A and B are shown apart, each in its own frame.
Chain A
């Protein structure tokens, strides 16, 4: 063994590259710089900004299971919705403190993720896809039926949230909501980033790349998948809780197939399994939705559909994949 003090001198570059891969690169701070700058540049869009952060967090949670672990789901909104209803109902029932409410939202969604994951992650492929769909349908109807507590189809109204730390009141311009959502997103990102670069995260990638081999090297595959699913569900629940707290309203469509599909499209727009796909895809989708719906309130989804077709047919890596290719081309030209 080489003594630890001298090891860095002798360590081969390949080993160096592997253990330092998770070092922060300057470009990774770009989204945060943009988010802070946007606060000052577009003061009229703070509410949209907060919603974008929430969807980024939601899409990021999906990336963990879809992009890294390779679990295909059309039911991720189930967890977003459970989080939104948990935070909303707590506030309506008299628990107005936001941070604890948000934690409760995450925990409730994680529990649903754990229980459903234990059942459905025994399957894969089309069966799994159908089961994720079935769960979001069931929870949607349950929320609809339990109108006495969820408000049913009318939505959950009367949410009142205390100032954050007793100091920052949720204002009508959405300033507090903007920073609140941004800080929570930052924490969520830091957590997911740590996770995907950890041995646990790499083993998820291994499962995505070749599950047969992961079994053969002794990995408890199902336990890893259920753990990832639970964490992802918890994060989605936090995103849902944020939405309930910042908009002070929960609509029934937070638990829907449509929202599950939308978040999937956002992630595909940005790029799957790249950690930053959510940061590109969610804003692009939501700003496009905002602008397209202004121009054409009925048919805006047509254009989203068209963009999706072009991206999946010609740019499988999403927008980030296109950027990668462009950079590659530039570097190649320089040579």
Chain B
């Protein structure tokens, strides 16, 4: 199996504080992988290292075999690395359709076009709409995002990332802040993600993790504690101790 995303010996420290320690991590094509760990385990740090918001102090990151360690965030996006945010990062005053169209336009390389190219513009709008239809949020296409309930906004958050047509999709707590009455639509969307995309989900909601993931990595104090199938993780005593033991729902 080839890894679409791989980190080798990734380290990050702020002064004496080591927030990522020798992280070796592989995401296979089409993976459904979850990253879990108690608060402060370094999950967000790892996401920021992968997306390029943070520079590692050591180690390498590969995307489809290419070393992207020194590439700026934008270049990583162009190579197929998409992400969503734990707290919505949307264009709230713009319509749902345009939120997605902005991403599609950037991916197509026409986001900086100033003149003409009506055909390119139409292609972008049609593709964005087709994506909304696939995600079943096309009814809201013309509504400003800020008028949607939070759960629907969460879907737009994912839709924007999908507009990039990513090879790797990082979902940072996709169900965060969504009331339980609406969380079903999030689960449904995640379950319906295109099978060829490698998905890494960072999530606190264990129901979601165990329903979605085929592999789970447990991060503790900036280091990988264990990686395995959901069954292995649920049975692992160390995991129970440091993480699941605190909670009652597994």
Contacts and interface: CB of A to CB of B under 8 A. Distances in A.
B190 to A, nearest CB: 19
Contacts of B97: 14-15, 18
A11 interface: yes
Interface size class of A (residues with CB under 8 A): 20 to 34
A218 interface: yes
B34 interface: no
Contacts of B51: 216
A217 B112 CA distance: 13
B85 interface: yes
Interface stretch (B13-21, B73-81, B196-204, B213-221): B73-81
Given A14-B141, A199-B111, A217-B164, A206 B126 contact: no
The main secondary structure of chain A at its interface with chain B is helix
Given A14-B97, A15-B126, A199-B105, A218 B164 contact: yes
A215 interface: yes
Contacts of B160: 213, 217
B150 interface: no
Interface residues of B, number: 46
Contact of B111 (A14, A212, A213, A219): A219
Interface string A159-203: 000000000000000000000000000000000001100111111
Contacts of B110: 199
A67 to B, nearest CB: 12
B93 A209 contact: yes
Given A199-B112, A200-B111, A209 B77 contact: no
A94 interface: no
B124 interface: yes
Interface in B48-89: 51, 73-75, 77-78, 83, 85, 89
Interface in A8-24: 11-15, 17-19
Contact of B83 (A11, A194, A216): A216
A206 B112 contact: no
With most chain B CB atoms within 10 A of its CB, the pick from A194, A200, A202, A213 is: A213
Contacts of B161: 216
Interface in A218-261: 218-221, 223-224, 227
B239 interface: no
A214 B75 CA distance: 13
A200 B105 CA distance: 10
Contact of A202 (B73, B85, B98, B120): B98
A218 B107 contact: yes
B116 to A, nearest CB: 9
Contact of A18 (B83, B90, B98, B120): B98
A194 B83 CA distance: 32
B74 A209 contact: no
B249 interface: no
Given A199-B105, A219-B106, A224-B112, 15 more contacts: A11-B126, A19-B125, A194-B114, A199-B110, A199-B124, A201-B114, A203-B102, A205-B91, A205-B94, A216-B73, A216-B85, A217-B103, A217-B160, A218-B107, A220-B74
